[in-house]
Amino acid sequence: MGALQSSDDSHECHIMAHHEITAFYDALKAAMAKRPVLPKTTPTAAEVRARLHEHDKKKHALLLPLPSYMPTTPVKITKTVKPVDTTRAVSDLELRLRELSARRDHDTNELFEAILAFKASCANDEAFLDGLAGCQRAQRLWRQHQYDSSHDLELLCKVQQKARDASGAGTLTAKLAYREPTIDGRLKKLALAASLVSSNVPPTSSQIFCNQSVTDHKLLLEKQMRWEQDLLHISVDVKSELHDSVFLDRSVMDTIYNLVALAPFFQTNLMVEAVTLAETFWVHPKQFWWTAVHACVDMDQCELLLWMLPQKPMITLRHVVKTCLEAKKIAAAEALAKQEPNATERAELLQMVRRAQGPSATSPTTAAAKPQSPAPSTQSI
């Protein structure tokens, strides 16, 4: 995410290189180290946990149950398979399969029936895989059918390995990792997926991208598992306890959001953890700041927001005040507006807050300047 574009108020886009992002986060961590202990915030830890769960429900459901037709048992995948036997005899059914797979005016139903007929004629799975390896269209059709029906998934991965499709085998293994009943099983599958994708030398650009994606997600999952166990004392292997988790299966940005929200309640400096996570995954500084701002505003943690804002923030204080007003956090908006060093800008921000409060919150200056209506005359007509 190092090349994310950032728009300023003039709607011009700027691209930050990796070294610029690294320098920004290094400076931010150094500044946080010089500050005093994190401030105490108004909401309690239990209230913040409850709000985080409500926040999750708005975005996605955690650990949705798999459909009934999908197996929940682990799928065993081997890293290596036997090479295709080129000396074996080719049957008439295999020749028919090759012919249909190579035709341009193909009939999908006819091709699928030919696959089933050839599979029924094979003595074992190895013979079927050897014959299917040279038929690309038939192979794609069979893979899609097997994956959609969740039938014999171990054989499905071997189909791609026989065809020397390391990237496809790795991608499939990564998908199957999310059907693992335990987090440890998922991590092992992701490690195997990365190994399969990187087995080709030299790797293609798509294989490099796939390998990086799988490796990054494995790294994120390991960090999330450590926070669940060390901070919240949740056993990731107990299914009932996973519903109380606040880190597992979240995206990078959701994880940063939750780290900032929970920062005031732990001795471990979760703000530094959030910054380190953003630096690891090349999160654009503006994206990081907006996530942190929304976390503080949503959780009523104005004190934390005042503590974390640097002297030269990536986003202006005006934008932060507007965000508070949009969330109906009037007191937080007023406290932030008073932190503006420029007197003119501070007056404008406070006026913005008073307008948001309604007509009853007019400024003292305006109230003094308003002419008083004359008292009604008591003279009788």
pLDDT tens-place string over residues 46-101:
899 888 888 776 655 444 454 554 455 555 555 555 566 666 778 889 888 888 88
Quick one: average pLDDT of 277-295?
A: 92
At 96-141, the pLDDT tens digits run 888 888 887 778 899 999 989 998 998 888 888 888 877 888 888 8
pLDDT of residue 61: 44
pLDDT of residue 361: 52
Say if residue 176 is in the same domain as residue 269: no
Say if residue 200 is in the same domain as residue 279: no
Residue 369 Cα to chain centre, angstroms: 54
In a domain, 78, yes or no: no
- Please indicate whether residue 168 or residue 38 has the higher confidence score (pLDDT): 38
Q: Which stretches of 106-204 are DSSP H helices?
A: 108-121, 125-132, 136-149, 153-162, 166-177, 183-197
In a domain, 245, yes or no: no
Long-range contact set of residues 336-345: C-beta below 8 Å, sequence gap at least 24: 336/302, 336/305, 336/306, 339/306, 339/309, 345/317, 345/318
CB-based contacts of 305: which residues, under 8 Å, 6+ apart?
A: 292, 293, 296, 297, 320, 332, 336
- Please say which residue of 315, 332, 355 terminates a domain: 315
Quick one: average pLDDT of 343-358?
A: 89
Query: Mean pLDDT score of the chain, rounded to an integer?
Result: 79
Residues 346/340, Cβ–Cβ less than 8 Å: yes
pLDDT of residue 379: 45
Domain boundaries, position 178? 92-214
pLDDT of residue 77: 55
Say if residue 111 is in the same domain as residue 169: yes
Domain count, the chain: 2
In a domain, 119, yes or no: yes
Say if residue 55 is in the same domain as residue 120: no
In a domain, 144, yes or no: yes
Q: End-to-end CA distance of the chain: give it in Å, rounded.
A: 81
At 288-328, the pLDDT tens digits run 999 999 999 989 888 888 888 766 667 788 888 998 898 88
Say if residue 141 is in the same domain as residue 182: yes
Say if residue 172 is in the same domain as residue 118: yes
